[in-house]
Copies of this chain bind each other. A is one copy, B any other.
Amino acid sequence: MINPNDPSLHSWIDIAPESDFPIQNLPFGVFETAERGPRLGVAIGEYVLDLYAVAQFGYFEDLELGKKMPKVFRRRSLNQFIALGRPAWRAVRQRVSELLRHDNPALRDQQEAMRECLLRQDEVQMLRPVKPHNYTDFYSSIEHATNVGTMFRDPNNALLPNWRHIPIGYHGRASSIVVSGTDLRRPNGQRKAPDATAPTFGPSQQLDFELEMAFVVGRPTQLGDTVPVQNAEDYIFGLMLFNDWSARDIQSWEYVPLGPFLGKSFGSSVSPWVVTLDALEPFRIPGPVQEPEPLLYLRQTGEHNFDINLEVAIAPEGGPETAVSHANFGLMYWSMAQQLAHHASNGCNQQVGDLYASGTISGTTPDSLGSMLELSWRGTRPVPLADGSERKFLQDGDRVTMRGFAQKDGVRIGFGEVTGKVLPANSLSL
């Protein structure tokens, strides 16, 4: 059996060299057309492979995937497919890889099947790929945590005492996670300027993005069970880009002592394609040295970070796009395996589709910061845009787009993008 990550593979479908979706990627998503209703699909070049159609034509027939198999491909989320387990994910990805390989005529030479199974991405509507039963946001970039601590607390003690011991995280709002392309309304909320005597209610004046990645839990646990850090990656299906939109003024007034709430819950955006951990295998790198050494339940050896290049761009309404940040997921202080092992260490049960975000990903340089808060250093150094305007925070009409890819040996494993535009706040009619 050929490794579907093999850099020498190529497809009978024409794929541009800069495409995020070569035959080595094969990410999973959910799409919809007026005729077909919701379907699971795999991205390949500029196309989507309709997995339900592929199953209907019998191409999965000899895979032993259980009785739910054809049905799971016409659902509104990946959850039920993911629940089949890693052997099923691998078998499907392997078979799709075989079907798309340049020298395999099975689908290539079947005109009718090919027409039914392949749709252009620009002719389908992508849906939110998973139904996240639970959503947790971590805070695992040491650069980001240091920047925030420097700005809001003490530059000499920027990291709080627990930070190097715990992958700090908090429960977020699952209902308001939307797929890329959904525009987000600027939230109203309570905020109080430091010198004001009382709070006011109105549109957030400090609307921000946060550049993050999120992983999807692929294997459930029972209440009381834990996930050993050594095996934690077995519980991960794949990764997406994640924009954790944030209203800084609402957040800073509300968050003591119980954490972020309405400053976050008005919306978070995910990219539509889930890149499997399997596809990212070639991009493993060691994480930063952890000092002090973590407690035993978080201690791991080997390479558990992933070298993924990230970009954030802002385009004002009708204006050109400006790339405002370039960061890398490989810098994360706490790995996904450590986040998950920690999350389950108290017996908290994990559900298929749970979505765990990394926290803002910032680098070490001024052009690699993952939020406007950091890029504009709390509004003190405005960020210039290509149209000549500048930004401290986001303005109405601004479109924020995040992109990401890993690249090695001529293979580019991309995530596509997560994009969304800022709509004006609701008017206040109280």
The interface on chain A, measured as residues whose beta carbon lies within 8 A of the other chain's beta carbons, has a size of: 65
Give the contacting residue for A348; candidates B192, B266, B349; CB below 8 A.
Answer: B266
A364 at the A/B interface (Cβ < 8 Å)? Answer: no
A92-139: which residues lie under 8 A (CB-CB) from chain B?
133-134, 136, 139
| Residue A189 CB within 8 A of the other chain | yes
Q: A174-B133, A348-B266, A426-B226 are in contact. Are A201 and B169 (CB under 8 A)?
A: no
Is A260's CB under 8 angstroms from B262's CB? no
Partner of A254, one of B162, B261, B295, B350: B162
Query: Is A160 an interface position by the 8 A CB rule?
Result: yes
Contacts of A358 in B (CB 8 A): none
Asked if residues B170 and A347 are in contact (CB atoms below 8 Å), the reply is no
Cα distance A173–B135 in the bound complex, in angstroms: 8
A250 to B295, CA, bound (A): 14
Q: Which residues in chain A, 241-268, are within 8 Å of chain B measured between CB atoms?
A: 247, 250, 253-263, 265-267
Chain B residue nearest to A266 (CB atoms) is: B346
Task: Mark A214-230 against chain B: 1 for CB-CB distance below 8 A, else 0.
Answer: 00000000011010100
Measured between beta carbons, the chain B residues less than 8 angstroms from A250 are 346
How far does the alpha carbon of A265 sit from the alpha carbon of B187 in the complex, in Å? 28
- A166 to chain B: which residues have CB within 8 Å? 190, 199, 253-254
- Beta-carbon contact of A175 and B350 below 8 Å: yes
Contact of A345 among B185, B189, B295 (CB under 8 A): B189
Given contacts A162-B256, A345-B188, contact A172 B171 (CB under 8 A): yes
How long is the Cα–Cα vector from A73 to B371 in the complex, in angstroms? 48
- Enumerate chain B residues within 8 angstroms of A342, measured Cβ to Cβ: 262
- Report whether A430 and B254 are in contact in the complex, using a CB–CB cutoff of 8 Å: no
Given A198-B292, A346-B187, decide whether A223 and B170 contact each other with a Cβ distance below 8 A: no
Chain B residues closer than 8 Å to A169, beta-carbon distance:
258, 261
A160 B256 Cβ-Cβ under 8 A: yes
B133 near A175: Cβ-Cβ < 8 Å: yes
Task: Known A185-B224, A185-B347; judge A170-B261 contact (CB<8 A).
Answer: yes
Question: By DSSP majority rule, is chain A's interface helix, strand, loop, or mixed?
Answer: loop
A347 to B426, CA, bound (A): 9
A12 at interface by CB-CB < 8 Å: no
A176 touches B253 (CB 8 A): no
- What are the interface flags for A290-304 relative to B under an 8 Å C-beta threshold, 1 for contact and 0 otherwise? 001001110000000
The interface residues of chain B lying within 8 Å CB-to-CB of A172 are 171
Residue contact B199 to A165, C-beta cutoff 8 Å: yes
Smallest CB gap from A161: residue in B: B192
Give the chain B neighbours of A199 by CB distance below 8 A: 162, 165-166, 295
User: Is A327 interfacial (CB 8 A cutoff)?
Assistant: no
Q: Whole-angstrom distance from the CB of A259 to the nearest CB of chain B?
A: 2
Q: List chain B residues, Cβ under 8 A from A345.
A: 188-190, 201, 262
CB-CB under 8 A from A266, the residues of chain B are 223, 346-348
In the complex, A351 has a CB within 8 A of chain B:
yes
A76 adjacent to chain B (CB < 8 Å): no
Residues from 129 to 186 in A contacting B, C-beta threshold 8 Å: 133-134, 136, 139, 160, 162, 165-166, 168-176, 178, 185
**A343 at the A/B interface (Cβ < 8 Å)?**
yes
Contacts A/B (CB < 8 Å), 7 sampled: A160-B257, A162-B254, A166-B253, A168-B257, A170-B259, A175-B351, A189-B345
Chain A residues engaging chain B, CB cutoff 8 angstroms: 133-134, 136, 139, 160, 162, 165-166, 168-176, 178, 185, 187-190, 192, 198-201, 223-224, 226, 228, 247, 250, 253-263, 265-267, 292, 295-297, 342-343, 345-351, 354, 426, 428, 430
Q: A189-B346, A223-B266 are in contact. List 19 more A-B contacts (CB 8 A).
A: A136-B261, A165-B198, A166-B190, A166-B199, A168-B261, A171-B171, A171-B173, A173-B348, A175-B348, A175-B349, A185-B347, A187-B347, A199-B295, A256-B257, A259-B260, A262-B346, A262-B348, A266-B347, A297-B430
